[in-house]
Structure 1
Amino acid sequence: MSKQERATRTRRALIQSAANLFEECGYVPARLTKISAGAGVSRGALHFHFENKAAVAEAVEQEAARALHHAAQSVLSADTGAVQQLVDVTHTFAYMLRWDVVVRAGFQLNCEGHVETGVNFRQEWQDCMTALVTRAHEEGALADGVSQETLVTTLMAGTTGFEVLSRTDKEWLSRYSLTGFWQHMLLVLASAGTLADIDPKGTDVVIETSSRIPEQCPPPPSAPQ
């Protein structure tokens, strides 16, 4: 293994250790000595990569952002309509938040504002939903009388609620939970001609290919029957 490969592996281990610790005890109580110990490296090795705890937290956020951006781009490149993409991106993000501690810790750190990274995950999520709802309207996929602004507000409140509730019970992010949410939402938002073509359980192949799957995590479950 080259020196560069060892450095990359150490940095990844530190980010993983920090994410685990931030989730377990929060940002403020987390100590650099525990982060380095969790990664199996010395305190000096940690400081070679990161100046301080804020720099470690920023790296966790950046790694989470990269994973979520990649997933969103993958979902949006699929050959499906905007409403199905709304469903699929929600299922994809829920899976990642449930199983990937770096994504989960990075999202929570960002929402709590402990470090300034210039990225606002919730605003980006709202922007994503707004763009998809706009496209759905242009495709004629929304039911008559549905307000785009109100729909985005409702989706934002619902999906943010799932993320917050999952901090004490990760079943809120299960595919079953999200499917139930979309079964009800689609009856309200989708036009009659579109409804029959939308799968509230999400598109298996899109979710599988869009999610960043850590080695220790199970693959996304198939859609519930």
Structure 2
Amino acid sequence: MEKRPERTRQVLISAAADLIADGRFADAGLANICRTAGVSRGALYHHFGSIAELVAGVYEQASERVDGLFEEAFEKSATDAPAEFSITLGAALLDERLVRAGVRIGPSGTDDPPRLREEILAKLRERVVADGSSHAKDIDCAADLAVVVTAGLESLGHADAYWWQPKTARRIWDIVQQLDQS
């Protein structure tokens, strides 16, 4: 059974994530978070020392979720892992406000770089290079391509969720993998 303090803390994190995910970072102010969470200002400050600390909690949970997606994708075939990660990341961005908010913020609880988005892309590139299992002759080129496709799908999806749909991402990755093998 979840204890009330932990439930209140999670409600606050969810409220901040909801406001950041589909709005502007500035929308995640004290009054809006408290109203969305249905708690008092005192409750917010009981659980978090500042709004930045609360937003850092959003980052932390989003980062853990994305790390799970990353590890799940790379447990499979290293050759298919970049595509699988990119596709599942898009699906998470489409369906999960926590992840959508998380890519827009950094560990300090601000929207200043480095944000989770940049960390994801750097980790993806490092992993593709380290695995070295692409069919491409130039592993650095394959790693760069994985980052460009993932970044493109992520960026485009903020304006049109079509790009986050698994069907769309799979189609793009099928084309990329065909080019990689030729």
Instruction: Provide the TM-score with structure 1 as the length reference.
Output: 0.71
How many residues of Structure 1 are paired with residues of Structure 2 in the alignment?
A: 181
Among 177, 186, 196, the residue aligned to 2:168:
177
One-letter amino acid of the counterpart of residue 87, structure 2: H
1:147 is matched with which residue? 138
More relative contact order in 1 or in 2 (CA 8 Å, sep 6+)? 1
Among 45, 48, 54, the residue aligned to 2:46:
48
* Structure 1, 168-177 or 117-126: larger mean CA deviation: 117-126
**Rounded Cα–Cα distance in structure 2 between residues aligned with 1:52 and 1:97:** 26
Change over 3 Å in CA distance of 1:116–1:168 after alignment to 2: closer
Contact 2:73 2:84 (8 Å CA) reproduced:
yes
Change over 3 Å in CA distance of 1:83–1:32 after alignment to 2: same
**Rounded Cα–Cα distance in structure 1 between residues aligned with 2:181 and 2:11:** 44
1:157 is matched with which residue? 148
Contact 2:104 2:116 (8 Å CA) reproduced:
no
One-letter amino acid of the counterpart of residue 80, structure 2: Q
Change over 3 Å in CA distance of 1:118–1:86 after alignment to 2: closer
Normalized per residue, which structure has more helix? 2
Contact 2:124 2:147 (8 Å CA) reproduced:
no
**Rounded Cα–Cα distance in structure 2 between residues aligned with 1:103 and 1:76:** 19
**Structure of larger gyration radius:** 1
Among 127, 134, 153, the residue aligned to 2:123:
127
Change over 3 Å in CA distance of 1:115–1:48 after alignment to 2: farther
Contact 1:82 1:135 (8 Å CA) reproduced:
yes
2:86 is matched with which residue? 90
Residue 7 (structure 1) shift? 0.9
Instruction: Provide the TM-score with structure 2 as the length reference.
Output: 0.86
Among 28, 31, 47, the residue aligned to 2:29:
31
One-letter amino acid of the counterpart of residue 20, structure 1: D
One-letter amino acid of the counterpart of residue 39, structure 1: A
Q: Which runs of 5+ in 2 are unaligned?
A: none
**Rounded Cα–Cα distance in structure 1 between residues aligned with 2:82 and 2:115:** 22
Matched residue of 1:142: which SS? coil
Identity over the aligned pairs, expressed in percent? 24
Contact 2:132 2:139 (8 Å CA) reproduced:
no
